[in-house]
Structure 1
Amino acid sequence: MLGRAAPGTRLALDGRAVRVAADGAFAFGFGRDHAASATLSVTHADNRREEKRLAIARRQWREQRIDGLPPAQVEPDAETLRRILRERERLAAVRATDSALTGFAQGFVAPATGRISGVFGSRRILNGQPRQPHYGLDFAVPTGTPLLAAAAGRVTLADSFHFFGDLLVIDHGHGVNTLYAHLSRIEVREGQMVARGERVALSGATGRVTGPHLHFSLSWYQTWLDPQPVVLPA
């Protein structure tokens, strides 16, 4: 949810403080397996308090089967597993960034134009083995397709990971991050500020893939969110 409150308002979601910008802009979101409701606590500038119960609609998740992956990409050896764990910790640290940037409040654009080949939340069966759900949106685009920053922000990660291949993470402020994976070329550097719609990379087929595409993820701190309603609204 992207919203705006009166300046001076303080918010908390299920007891967790929600950062509110000086102009009242704020953001929060719910993950794939969140409970059926949440409580938003509002403290107004005059210290009046109220609580709002938010009902969260349940969704049916698709099942996606992917075969033909190299065995090492499904059952990594001990050394590779250690690398994966290090990368997971590094990504978690980046996604924990709590900056005062407000790029998220300026709106989002799609990072690419193409057929959607994978959706958020689907149960994944890789080489016949159940794995964690798909926490992103896949754009089926050929290698070398220009990719755009979905919103204004700062590049917080630009590197190569085992599963994600070459990837970027952009911090849009208030815990809102976007991730771009399986890239063939990264055209920005860590610490660089980017504008919404600015070209930041080229799509590719690096990491765990069966073909070229962009894996695009959206998160609020450590919670993966469905990016489709944000970048491809109905």
Structure 2
Amino acid sequence: MHTLTAITLRICRRLNLLVLAWPLLAHASLPNASNVPGGIAIVPLGSTSNGADKPQTWLGDQPVLVTSDHDQWYAVVGLPLDMTPGSHELSVKIGSETKPESFVVNPKNYPEQRVTLKDKSKVELSAADLARAEREISAIKELKRHWRPAQDTDLAFIVPAEGKLAGRFGLRRFFNGEPRSPHAGLDVAVASGTPVKASAQGQVLAVGDYFFNGKTVFIDHGNGLITMYCHLERIDVQTGEAVSKGQLLGLSGKTGRATGPHLHWSVVLNGAMVDPELFIPAKDLQ
């Protein structure tokens, strides 16, 4: 089958046909499975060659990304950091039939990170700052649940900036000795003004300047997969704009709550913040 696909692609190129208009020829590059809170469960849903419709899948009331790889359907499930270890179920609809599909989440203990901030106003918030932060957290929560159906979703990400990978995902953080939410992203250590690029093709879902995240770009990759690029010095895209993989989104900085210049990069999958490293080939990790 792969040989026939390659031949078909060569014919299309010779005839100057738009190969991208043939989405059924493409196969997803699945992220790495990690059945832990903050990870990704890859749940097989059956063969693509049995004539049945593409499955539809939900975790609770949140739709879940379904893709094909090597003639099989898979649900690619984001597991929230606060998910309880144990057995869980997806709701899977194939044709007119809906049935449960179980998967297991294993426990994981993430390391701790202690950060000292000289600007105490970023830790001990004034009433005005607290009200602003709460409004923004609510707005971002809605963005994370956004769902745009797409024919195909690129799951093979690139690291959005050239730099050393620093603060890892899931760190239990303490700011000036006070416990805060776990680190729900991956930090890339870069100087201010470093180009920040889209991890994959998509559409700009939102841009904004937030109390904690600073200047931020949200990219919607379709089917519940969203990336966030935070603490930017400059934003070069606007809401609704289509972007390609590797396209410049802006320049890194230290806006918002940041101890220094860096890129904070987050990945959201079916509303859950998940480890970005699971989408990156091992050879590209530093």
Aligned residues with identical type, % of pairs: 34
Contact 1:102 1:172 in 2 (8 A): no
* Equivalent residue number for residue 205 of structure 1: 254
Matched, 1:165 2:214: yes
Displacement of 1:185: 0.8
Report deviation, 1:115.
Answer: 1.4
The residue number in structure 2 matching 1:42 is 92
What SS is found at the alignment partner of 1:118?
coil
Matching residue within 119, 123, 128 for 2:177: 128
2:54 paired residue number? 8
Q: Alpha-carbon deviation of 1:129?
A: 1.2
2:243 aligned to which of 194, 208, 225: 194
Q: Which moved more, 1:23-32 or 1:90-99?
A: 23-32
Q: Which residue of 2 aligns with 1:100?
A: 149
Q: Is the Cα contact below 8 Å between 1:153 and 1:193 reproduced in 2?
A: yes
**Bigger-Rg structure (1/2):** 2
Question: Which amino acid in the other structure matches residue 18 of structure 1?
Answer: V
- TM-score norm. by structure 2 comes to 0.73
**Helix, strand or coil for the counterpart of 1:90?**
helix
RMSD between aligned residues: 2.6
**In the aligned structure 2, how far is the partner of 1:221 from the partner of 1:9?**
16
Counterpart contact for 1:21–1:100, Cα < 8 Å? no
Report the equivalent of 2:228: 179
Match 2:111 to one of 44, 62, 69 = 62
CA distance in 2, matches of 1:207, 1:15: 32
Q: Report the Cα distance in structure 1 between the residues aligned to 2:112 and 2:149, rounded to whole angstroms.
A: 38
Distance 2:191 2:281 in 1: 20
Inter-partner Cα distance in structure 1 for 2:237 and 2:152: 17
Gaps of 5+ in 1: none
One-letter amino acid matched to 1:44: I
Q: Does 1:217 align with 2:266?
A: yes
How many residues end up aligned between the 2 structures? 233
**DSSP 3-state at the match of 1:18:** strand
User: Which residue in the other structure is 1:33 paired with?
Assistant: 82
Q: Which residue of 2 aligns with 1:18?
A: 64
Q: 1:78 to 1:136 in 2, by over 3 A?
A: same
Partners of 2:129 and 2:158 in 1: CA distance: 35
Residue pair 2:146, 2:271 contacting (<8 A) in 1 also: no
Cα deviation 1:104-158 (Å, max 9, x = unaligned): 3352111122212211111111011111111110011111111111111111111
Q: 1:132 to 1:46 in 2, by over 3 A?
A: closer
Question: Residue 68 and residue 11 in structure 1: after superposition, are their counterparts in 2 closer, same or farther (change >3 A)?
Answer: closer
What TM-score comes out, normalization by structure 1 length?
0.88
Specify the alignment match of 1:156 in structure 2. Answer: 205
1:26 touches 1:174 (CA, 8 Å); kept in 2?
no
